[in-house]
Structure 1
Amino acid sequence: MPRNARSEREALTDLMQTLGPDAPTVNEGWTTRDLAAHLVLRERRPDAAGGIMLPPLRGYAERVRLRIAARPWSRLLNEVRRPPVWSPVSNPVTDELANTMEFFIHHEDVRRASPDWLPRDLPAGLSAALWKRASGMARLALRRFPAAVLIQAPGHGEVSAGRGGDPVRVVGAPGELILFLSGRQRVSRVQIDGPAALADRLRSAHLGM
């Protein structure tokens, strides 16, 4: 049975423990403490977790997140490492589906904030799981982009997205494409082929869910 979500959770928690609560992340303005609080809110506060995606609830969610962030660092890390079994997103039924991409992205948010980061060689099972998410994510993240965008992961497949028009091709490993499509273009290692203006626009577009 796949354990990608658990492996990424453990690796992220170990890394945050090593770096401490004040280390930078790829998320602008967020430290590792802020990121840990986000993860705890998402799993343990369903009353506020909707604010992660829904603008009307964002203010409430942020107030809750700041209160969580004030907890002792050791407690925060323990809460990230050991999610409650009752959590809608982290119980044994939903964990792999809901958390593989989430924890991969945030693991890389911490890793790639270091100036000497290098890409990882991901296990084949994790790459396959990330490609499944990337292929669907592309259609959503690029639904308004004014071009015909072809997303390609060599050895995994390709998917078309965008509103049509001039063609642009984005090529990369599944993990790199996940980061690109989640709005982390500046730290993702992909190749973009197409008209220069469209390629530049794609690199700076506001992507993500």
Structure 2
Amino acid sequence: MSASPPSLPARERAALADLLDELGPDAPTCCEGWTTAHLAAHLAVRDRRPDALPGYGLELLPGGGRLAWWSHRLEDRLRTSTPYAEVVGRVRSGPPVWSPTALPAVATAIDTAEYAIHHEDVRRAQPGWEPRPLPREEQDRLWAGLALHARRAAGRRGLVLRRSDAPGTEKRFGDAGRTVTGEPLELMLWVSGRRGVARVDVS
């Protein structure tokens, strides 16, 4: 029996680790103030320090960013104390078996968006980047995981997300306010705050 192919989060993780290795620790990312070293440390801490996870969850809530100081302190400590190549190796190898993020259901729920977004954070901060085509089934997975970021982006104004690759398919969050149209990966980037690099139409 042949092994099943790697999941979307696993493929995104591997591709991101390859890119982090290729670029080194000082390359820019789309995360304001972060180099590739900062991003690698963030992902390694997320996998291996369960005490950092509440802070990351709070950041997705209105006003919650100021409560995530402990998570960022752990990232800074790892980044300044551990060789970059070792940190990227931890990103590549994934969480240890005892980590909550090692559970397949948890990984599917939270890693699909996490690694797709951060892969693009690195790709799209480099000169000459172009959008990459994703298979329809991968776009479907990203579409299914839009809700958390989309609710935050909708705020009080409301938001309609509309798929450009699947006419007639849309999600509504609150009252109909702005309508944003694009492929699911582009919509994921837009609702997570990467509006300068997301290829979408806003009306």
Is 1:81 the counterpart of 2:92? The answer is yes
* Structure 1 moving runs of 4+ over 4 Å: none
Q: Write the deviation string for residues 29-69 of structure 1: whole angstroms up to 9, x where unpaired.
A: 10001001101111111112322233464222222111111
Paired amino acid for 1:35:
L
Q: 1:47 to 1:139 in 2, by over 3 A?
A: closer
Contact 1:177 1:190 in 2 (8 A): yes
SS in 2 for 1:23: coil
Please tell me whether residue 125 in structure 1 is matched to residue 103 in structure 2. Answer: no
The 8 Å contact of residues 48 and 57 in structure 1, kept in 2 or not, is answered as no
| Residue matched to 1:65 | 75
Q: Does 1:7 align with 2:19?
A: no
RMSD: 1.9
Shift of 1:136: 5.4
Offset from partner CA, 1:185-208 (integer Å, 9 cap, x none): 111000012xxxxxxxxxxxxxxx
Mapped contact 1:41–1:64 kept (Cα < 8 A): yes
Give 1:161 deviation, angstroms.
2.1
Look up the equivalent residue of 1:169 and give its one-letter code.
T
Q: Which runs of 5+ in 2 are unaligned?
A: 59-63
Conservation of the 8 A alpha-carbon contact between 2:109 and 2:145: no
Deviation string for 1:152-180 (max 9, x for gaps)?
0131720112445xx53210000000000
What is the letter of the counterpart of residue 168 of structure 1?
R
| Larger RCO, structures 1/2 (Cα 8 Å, 6+ apart) | 2
Task: Give the Å deviation of 1:151.
Answer: 1.1
Query: Contact between 1:50 and 1:57, CA under 8 Å: does it hold in 2?
Result: no
Q: What is the TM-score normalised by the length of structure 2?
A: 0.85
Partner of 1:199: none
Q: Percent of counterpart pairs with the same letter?
A: 43
Aligned-partner residue type, residue 138 of structure 1: A
SS at structure 2 position matched to 1:159: strand
SS at structure 2 position matched to 1:94: helix
Q: Corresponding residue for 1:173?
A: 183
